[in-house]
Structure 1
Amino acid sequence: MNRWDLGEAEGRIYSGGWREGGGGVLEVTSPGDGGTIGRIGIADGHDVERAGALAAEAQVVWGRAPYRERADVLTRAAAVLRETRADLELVLVRESGSLPTKAAHEVDKAIDELIAAASLVTLSQGDILPVEDPSVLGLARRVPVGVVGVIAPWNAPLMLAMRSVAPAIALGNAVIVKPDVKTAFSGGAVIAEIFERAGLPRDLLHILPGGPDTGEALVSSPHTSVIAFTGSTVAGKRVGEVAGGLMKRVILELGGNNAAIVMRDADLDVAVANGVAGSFRHQGQICMATGRHLVHESVADEYVARLGAAAAKMRVGDPLGEGVTLGPLINQTQAERVQRIVDDAVAGGARIVQGGTHDGAFYQPTVLEGVDAGNVAFQQEIFGPVAPVTRFATEEEALELAHESAYGLSASIHSRDISRALGFASRLRAGMVALNGQTIYDAAHIPMGGLGASGNGGRHGGHWNLDEFTFWQWVTVPSSAG
């Protein structure tokens, strides 16, 4: 991939090679400088149907390919990503508005996903089970599900697509990706080019940018057996409804309103640093972002003062600008949504300590004090650089506040008493908990996912991918053909 030359991807979809999509083209602009990045092709229902048929046919051969062949493709894809990372990071910065450091981190994560996926092929693919007749061999084996539909978001487009694409391909499946139209280059076209260079056989991977109609066609397609969706809870519920009605497996990684719980004995240097990173990294546009700061009343004044001081030092602007520490939201519409939440929060009794305004897509890092459990800033996933602070008096109150949310993705607990913190963590309804760390933490080898409005319990990562992208087949083998 050349720095500003999007090549064959310009105005096209990837399905049996680069071709025009039935839904026309769409111009993609940079949230940082407002410049045009390029045009993407839009897929319609006919494109989804065609891609499904091609993918299903190609998967039959790929599912029987030697495990080393599949692993080699993923290993080569990781090498391609390393070789092209400088140009890709620039595309990520321009397209998603991320800081260069965040773009570099995202590429690292995508490489990790490819390497971890390559290792899946050598894990146990089944079990030997007893059969009543001892002369019969009974085995349960894992079989590829077939065609996996991946609906990926715009906030970490490369990594969050690769998190499903890589293990699905490693385990013998074909994949159809519907990237968000706002980041269809870094979350779609780039992935097609990486795997094409890595030698992935034709028709196993399709990239079909589009809106909700394209996504619904992918979920409804008779060719897709599993749908991996990452995005908002509202959209995820619709995906689950359609997929469930068709008896399809669905992996839902949805929103989060994650709590950072600061106990009275917390190390405030660590807690504040993690609170700043948790709420303001990538402008708060991360599902694991810290959406609620639950702070013991004895340390709350100092915590709020430090959080506000850190926010005041941040410089907001074009992520390619010198000294910029906070980039834009994905677009002005999102900034206006965040502004409405902040305004409603203040009307509901909260106080702005720092920030609270925006200029176009650029939202100032904001700290809110006095946010009670009924406040809109406490209840909603803000998805912007806003840190709402709520005080508590006892651990039981902190636990109740943590659970005053439908979400259950991640949480953090800050305390010098690790044993006590571990006990508190065991009572939290959250898929991931960090002690004296950030709510934002994941890796390619861990079980990534949440509960409640954050997901349906499906897990990405490590050997848990086997449960999502294969199905069990029971086979009995007699001792002889006769």
Structure 2
Amino acid sequence: MREYKLYIGGAWQDNTDGEVMDDFNPATGELMARVHMAGAADAEKALAAAHAARAVWGSAQPDVRERLLLRAADVMEARAEELTELMIAESGSARYKARGEVLGSAGVLRVAAGECRRVHGEVLQPTAAGQVSMAVRAPLGVVLGITPFNYPLILAVKKLAYAIGAGDPFILKPSPLTPAIGLAIAEVFEAAGLPAGVLNVVPGRSEVIGDLLVDDPRVKMVTFTGSSAVGRSIAVRAARDLKKVAMELGGKNPMIVLADYGAEKAADIAAYGAFCHQGQVCMATSRIIVEEPVYETFCAALVRRAEGLKVGDPREEDTIIGPLIQPNKWEFIDGQIADAVGKGAGLLTGGRHEGPWYWPTVLSGVTPEMRIFHEETFGPVTSVVRARDAEHALALCNDNEYGLSAALLTHDLEKAWSLSLRMEAGMVHVNDTTFLSGTTAPSGGVKFSGFGREGGRYSMEDFTELKWLTMQVEDKKMPF
């Protein structure tokens, strides 16, 4: 049985208070690892190590940071099979998802390496004679990253790779549901030759170390991916010290299907967006708003796609639906479905569970009066909503407190432009799924789905501080 220790200051350490958590495989219930959980004293060690590293790492040349990230990418690819197996065992990821996440994370490391040489400023117009005026970017200092269980590898790498590339030491607090994956990232960077203190990984309970890390004045920025409720709490705490924050929060992501788009192809796109990783995705396609003329045809096609997805052992190549990582999550999902059916929705398929497995579920006739229209589900459930026309579909799309990702399926170019520009989301994809990401694109939401953007140069902007710098090269006469 593997035992994972904390990674602090370039060394693997036992925790101080002795709490070691049993880490169970969500599919089998078997004990897969034991993980040291950080206490207050361990959090202090991580803060001190990161703070001590900031001057040296902040002044490291871009090519030094670039080479580190490229070596880390090489190590991750060399260990791809090992990391894939760990993802399956700890997070319940189906094999296709786990493998894609590992290789995608290596890609993020390479993109971040390229960005190390592209942290640009600019020369500004002078405000006085004989003055050189510039805007320059500098490292922030210590960055704290708090990451979720659903994509525990790539969502952590998307934060720490750019922060480290920008010259910021990083403290990673992974989800207590997937701590081993967070510590595996430290193993990758250690093998790549990471200097001590630049990356520190401290899994721990939020109530024990979460507030302590967020509140500490040595932390200059907090980047968080998770629920909107937790994100708001973190943002409020960080605001007390005017810390920089970046939040990618929940979503109730709409897909509009217009009548000119083929129902079968629309169902293929919707099924992937709704059911990938058991719907435990903040960008999952959870509200499908279909124009009246193709509504019934689309529902039938989506049911056929849902019923053709294999539910089972995530280790098997053809499994699409693996286990929910939280075994009692079915109670919340059942409650949403019962509320919808009780208010007139139709349960077309699914709505059942067996142990940690929940079958792909399609609800029809969903309306804004139902909880499931507004509440994030985080399970393999999607709602089909009837729209009279394109403008009604847009109104239904925007009738939500979330605004993370949205999709629009149509071959009408005029409607594609008109509607997509008015859809209230940080990301809008025409003729594709809501569940789309890119290594250089600005990923993030609006409204209760957060603020700040991740990806490429947009991450580098978040993880650096913009300064106005002037130099007077001629004598300047003062007003008095």
Q: TM-score, normalized by length of structure 2?
A: 0.96
The residue type equivalent to 1:82 in the other structure is E
Q: Map 1:58-137; keep pairs closer than 5 Å.
A: 58-137=53-132
Structure 2 residue corresponding to 1:240, chosen from 235, 241, 257: 235
The answer to which of 240-249 and 317-326 deviates more is 317-326
What SS does structure 2 have at the residue aligned with 1:473? strand
Residue matched to 1:197:
191
Distance 2:214 2:327 in 1: 30
Residue matched to 2:443:
448
CA deviations on 1:147-166 (whole Å, 9 max, x unpaired) are: 00000000000000001000
Residue matched to 2:387:
392
1:116 CA drift (Å): 1.1
Distance 1:75 1:309 in 2: 44
Q: 1:356 to 1:132 in 2, by over 3 A?
A: closer
Distance 2:260 2:401 in 1: 28
Contact 2:349/2:362, CA 8 A, preserved across alignment: yes
1:124 CA drift (Å): 4.2
Contact 2:4/2:180, CA 8 A, preserved across alignment: no
Q: Map 1:200-239; keep pairs closer than 5 Å.
A: 200-213=194-207, 214-239=209-234
User: Sequence identity of aligned pairs in percent?
Assistant: 37
What SS does structure 2 have at the residue aligned with 1:61? helix
What SS does structure 2 have at the residue aligned with 1:157? coil
Unaligned runs of 5+ in 1: none
CA deviations on 1:288-329 (whole Å, 9 max, x unpaired) are: 000101011111111111111111122211211464221011
Q: 1:129 to 1:95 in 2, by over 3 A?
A: same
Structure 2 residue corresponding to 1:478, chosen from 465, 472, 475: 472
What SS does structure 2 have at the residue aligned with 1:181? coil
Unaligned runs of 5+ in 2: none
The residue type equivalent to 2:351 in the other structure is G
Distance 2:317 2:462 in 1: 43
Residue matched to 2:149:
154
Contact 1:275/1:438, CA 8 A, preserved across alignment: yes
Residue matched to 1:429:
424
What SS does structure 2 have at the residue aligned with 1:463? helix
1:480 CA drift (Å): 7.9
The residue type equivalent to 1:239 in the other structure is I
CA deviations on 1:41-61 (whole Å, 9 max, x unpaired) are: 111222222211111111110
What SS does structure 1 have at the residue aligned with 2:289? strand
Number of residue-to-residue matches in the alignment: 473
1:135 CA drift (Å): 2.5
Structure 2 residue corresponding to 1:296, chosen from 286, 291, 296: 291
Distance 2:143 2:317 in 1: 42
Structure 2 residue corresponding to 1:353, chosen from 348, 361, 365: 348
1:211 CA drift (Å): 2.1
Is the counterpart of residue 12 in structure 1 residue 5 in structure 2?
Answer: yes
Contact 1:409/1:431, CA 8 A, preserved across alignment: yes
Structure 2 residue corresponding to 1:142, chosen from 130, 137, 141: 137
Is the counterpart of residue 38 in structure 1 residue 25 in structure 2?
Answer: no
Is the counterpart of residue 249 in structure 1 residue 244 in structure 2?
Answer: yes
Residue matched to 1:438:
433
Contact 1:49/1:221, CA 8 A, preserved across alignment: no
1:476 CA drift (Å): 2.1
Residue matched to 2:363:
368
Contact 1:11/1:26, CA 8 A, preserved across alignment: no
Q: Map 1:331-346; keep pairs closer than 5 Å.
A: 331-346=326-341
Residue matched to 1:410:
405
Contact 2:95/2:319, CA 8 A, preserved across alignment: no
Structure 2 residue corresponding to 1:420, chosen from 404, 415, 418: 415
The residue type equivalent to 1:114 in the other structure is L
Coordinate RMSD, CA, aligned: 1.5
The residue type equivalent to 1:286 in the other structure is V
1:11 CA drift (Å): 4.1
Residue matched to 1:286:
281
Is the counterpart of residue 260 in structure 1 residue 255 in structure 2?
Answer: yes
Contact 1:149/1:219, CA 8 A, preserved across alignment: yes
Distance 2:25 2:163 in 1: 31
Structure 2 residue corresponding to 1:327, chosen from 309, 322, 325: 322
CA deviations on 1:336-391 (whole Å, 9 max, x unpaired) are: 22122112221222111001011121001111111111111111111100111110
Contact 2:138/2:466, CA 8 A, preserved across alignment: yes
Contact 1:226/1:248, CA 8 A, preserved across alignment: yes
What SS does structure 2 have at the residue aligned with 1:256? coil
Q: TM-score, normalized by length of structure 1?
A: 0.95
